[in-house]
Structure 1
Amino acid sequence: MHNVESPAQQARWSRLVDQLEERLDELAQAFTTKVRDIPEYGESQVTVQEIRDTARETFRRLIRGLKGTHPDSRDGLLEFASDLGAKRAQAGIPPESLTTAVRLDFSILWAELLEIATPEDAILLASRVDKVWGVVDEFATRTHTSYLTERVRMAQEESSIQREFVARLFNQSTPSVETSAQVASALGINADSRFALVAASGEPGARLRTAISRFTSNTTARQKLFLHESGGNTYAFWALPATRTRSADSEDQLPPPLADLPCGYVPEVLGLRALPAAARTAESLAALLRPRDTRPLSADSAWPRLARQALQDSGMDLAAEIEEALAECRGGERERLLETVRHYLSTGNITVTSEQLFCHRNTILNRLNRFEELTGIDLAVPAKSARLIVAWA
């Protein structure tokens, strides 16, 4: 069974809506007062006058929508909502604040209707509440959709501009002061800050891109990570906190998405101008990664690999020389010597080594002496023990 309003009810509703339209200034003032209590609006660049003027136009169009007599009332309302959503996105109003503000429209309109209505209008208002809510909700939905669309467009535009400036930085072996200042301004960072940088290629490079994308899309993330791709390599860098303390383990300073990612890692870069050189270092470190590596590789932890690679590139193979020197070992002597030397290199302590291998201290000393006799490497001499570390990197 459907309720059909009488001509008298329709006429009364039209009169109530007309009275609402006569109170546009009061409606706009009520909205302005309430919306200024929302912190982000109170602190935004949107002026009180603009809020009041926009509120007045909003209510005028909503009331026209309630009348439903104007042929383009709905289209005009939705077009205005789209424009409003885009403007609020450009003004930097947070989405939660926008939603709170738009929700005020219904409560203010309904409160004003109750103010001008009489007790005899109760049934009429009850039959019209869905109409009022529907018009306001459609307006709010279009405003929010337009807001989100504009936010996405702005983010894409900002990201594109940032990528251009980052590329300009990395395309110079030694960027000028002017270039670094321009890049810093575009990225919203200090050109003289300290930075960290990672590099990866292939499958780790794809993982790095995914990790950065997820991290940057997290609106709660406070740290900015910047991405650059060139020559099959993916690079990411970020500014270090001014209060950052030096840590013996530089991996403690990595952003969460990078802590378990195999990549080349330069933990400290002094200023934007030094980033291209740091990128080349990180690229070299990434080339030294092995299948068993599951974390970033820095020069502190990979220096033996770097040294070994440099020596091999020069035609020197220290590992082969040591293997040749141990060739005269018989039985299990070679294995015992290598085990003892590796343990000693990791501790630098005879007593600890003997405890780890469950051998007498003199046994350890005898093995180390035998190793020196065969290879000529005295492990008590740092320069010679370093040679062994490089050989076994």
Structure 2
Amino acid sequence: MTAYRDRRLRDRPLPGDAARWLELLDALDLDELTDRFMARVVRVPGYDPAPIPVSELRRTGRDSFRTLIEGLRAGGFDGPVTVSTEVGVSRARAGIPLEALMTAIRLDFSVLWEVLTRVATQDDAELVIRHTGIVLSTVDEYVSQVQQAYTAELARMRAEEYSVHAGLIASLFEDPDPTGERLSTIATGLGLDVDCPLLVIAATGDDVRALQVIISDHVRAGGTMFAHHLGEVLIAFTQVPEGVGHVSDPVGGGVGHSLGALAGRIAEARVGYVRAEGIGALRRSALTARDLADVIAADETSAMTWRRGWARLAARSLNAAGNPILADVESALGECGPVERERLIEAVQVYLATGSIGASAERLFCHRNTVANRLRRFADLTGVDPMIPAEAARLVVGWA
């Protein structure tokens, strides 16, 4: 217990230490401290080369040491330190990574300690040890304030950027016919090429949350994705990487392979999506993606593309106009018994999906002639021949 008490006393300044401690602090040379700091900081990743003028780096470095010495004189900081805010804000604005900034700031302690122990004599050894805690806590408080200022400024920058981007995107949706100059300005503000293809995604209702998660994960992984609300519909869009062809059904291999993890996530979400050929087509494409998302059935769990959804959109439009698409077909099939009706519809739908009697026969596990007979029977009953494209189109839309 006695040994522990003795050690505690050695770790804390004594009443008689003050005069000599102030003499040691007076002996610290700001130019020497700054020179030592500058020689090391330029080797820190993120500062090589320095992202800010060397003269500015030297000025704030010198101010930091002056502030630290003042804090050591007072036994620590009792409030905000002006230079810490300046350093944190300026480094955030310069785009210096936080890890690099913290490494650079912590050099202050090693430099300060080296010079302090050099100016001290052998007789000052215990006095310096008793002040170690004050040096550490003072530097740590300074580092903490710099980090807080950096983080707060980064949040402000992101909010500013979001606000600017949101305004630019909103103007695209408000103006149905922007000029080429306006499109170029908007594209530049968003960091996009005006003619760069975009992947446009839409989610409605309860599916909005899933799209928000996809956006968040993509951004955290280093990607860029913009978002905009059209009423209760969330629209998201991102640049299509170079070399990617036309966006097709996400369950196919091409797009999922080309767009990687993002396309895979989209394919498994209840969203509508299309490709926009440049930012000038964004508004129109977003409205299409919204409509595709709106025709996803309650029991479906994958994305709806134009390839899969065009027929549903056509059916919805015709039905809304009061034009029943297959009323005559349904009436004609009513003359069949339920078993025959089911088999005829099944044969026609499989044929419409495959375009081949042979492939249809394989899928239905029956002979080619059986499929051909059912198609002929369907045509005779309804007056709509599924083997004639112009007539088959009505069946595709009506059954979408």
The correspondence for 2:43, drawn from 37, 50, 66, is 37
Q: Which residue of 2 aligns with 1:53?
A: 59
Flag the 1:190–1:43 CA change in 2: closer, same or farther, 3 A.
farther
Q: Does 1:107 align with 2:110?
A: yes
Cα shift at 1:345: 2.3
Q: Deviations over 1:274-320 (max 9, x none)?
A: 21222222232233222123233221111111222232233332332
Q: Deviations over 1:235-267 (max 9, x none)?
A: 11122122323464356245565343322212x
Is 322-331 or 94-103 further displaced after alignment? Answer: 322-331
Q: Does 1:324 align with 2:331?
A: yes
AA matched with 1:156: A
Q: Summarize the alignment of residues 144-183 of structure 1 with structure 2, pairs less than 5 Å apart.
A: 144-183=147-186
* TM-score, with structure 2 as normaliser: 0.88
Q: Which residue of 2 aligns with 1:233?
A: 233
CA distance in 1, matches of 2:153, 2:23: 38
Cα shift at 1:5: 5.1
The correspondence for 2:357, drawn from 340, 350, 371, is 350
Q: Summarize the alignment of residues 89-238 of structure 1 with structure 2, pairs less than 5 Å apart.
A: 89-213=92-216, 215-216=218-219, 218=220, 220-222=221-223, 224-238=224-238
Q: Does 1:307 align with 2:314?
A: yes
Question: SS of the residue aligned with 1:359?
Answer: coil
Flag the 1:179–1:140 CA change in 2: closer, same or farther, 3 A.
same
**Is the CA contact (8 Å cut-off) linking 1:44 and 1:92 kept in structure 2?**
no
- Structure 1's unaligned 5+ residue stretches are none
CA distance in 1, matches of 2:325, 2:150: 64
CA distance in 1, matches of 2:198, 2:171: 17
Cα shift at 1:333: 1.2
CA distance in 2, matches of 1:353, 1:258: 31
Q: Deviations over 1:2-31 (max 9, x none)?
A: 6275566443322222211xx211111111
Q: Which residue of 1 aligns with 2:244?
A: 244
Cα shift at 1:152: 0.6
CA distance in 2, matches of 1:311, 1:198: 25
**Is the CA contact (8 Å cut-off) linking 1:215 and 1:257 kept in structure 2?**
no
Cα shift at 1:324: 1.1
Cα shift at 1:95: 0.7
**Is the CA contact (8 Å cut-off) linking 1:262 and 1:296 kept in structure 2?**
yes
Q: Summarize the alignment of residues 240-319 of structure 1 with structure 2, pairs less than 5 Å apart.
A: 240-246=240-246, 248-250=248-250, 252=256, 253=259, 254-255=262-263, 258-266=266-274, 268-319=275-326
**Is the CA contact (8 Å cut-off) linking 2:248 and 2:305 kept in structure 1?**
no
**Is the CA contact (8 Å cut-off) linking 1:65 and 1:77 kept in structure 2?**
no
AA matched with 2:278: G
Flag the 1:28–1:177 CA change in 2: closer, same or farther, 3 A.
same
CA distance in 2, matches of 1:327, 1:275: 46
Question: SS of the residue aligned with 1:182?
Answer: helix
- Structure 2's unaligned 5+ residue stretches are none
**Is the CA contact (8 Å cut-off) linking 1:44 and 1:91 kept in structure 2?**
no
Is 39-48 or 83-92 further displaced after alignment? Answer: 39-48
Is 105-114 or 246-255 further displaced after alignment? Answer: 246-255
The sequence identity of aligned pairs, in percent, is 39
**Is the CA contact (8 Å cut-off) linking 1:84 and 1:143 kept in structure 2?**
yes
Question: SS of the residue aligned with 1:243?
Answer: coil
Q: Which residue of 2 aligns with 1:15?
A: 23
Flag the 1:390–1:77 CA change in 2: closer, same or farther, 3 A.
closer
CA distance in 2, matches of 1:351, 1:6: 98
AA matched with 1:32: M
Flag the 1:118–1:134 CA change in 2: closer, same or farther, 3 A.
same
Flag the 1:363–1:26 CA change in 2: closer, same or farther, 3 A.
same
Is 94-103 or 229-238 further displaced after alignment? Answer: 229-238
CA distance in 2, matches of 1:108, 1:225: 43
AA matched with 1:372: A
Cα shift at 1:379: 2.9
**Is the CA contact (8 Å cut-off) linking 1:265 and 1:298 kept in structure 2?**
yes
Is 255-264 or 30-39 further displaced after alignment? Answer: 255-264
**Is the CA contact (8 Å cut-off) linking 1:200 and 1:286 kept in structure 2?**
yes
AA matched with 2:348: V
Question: SS of the residue aligned with 2:77?
Answer: helix
* TM-score, with structure 1 as normaliser: 0.89
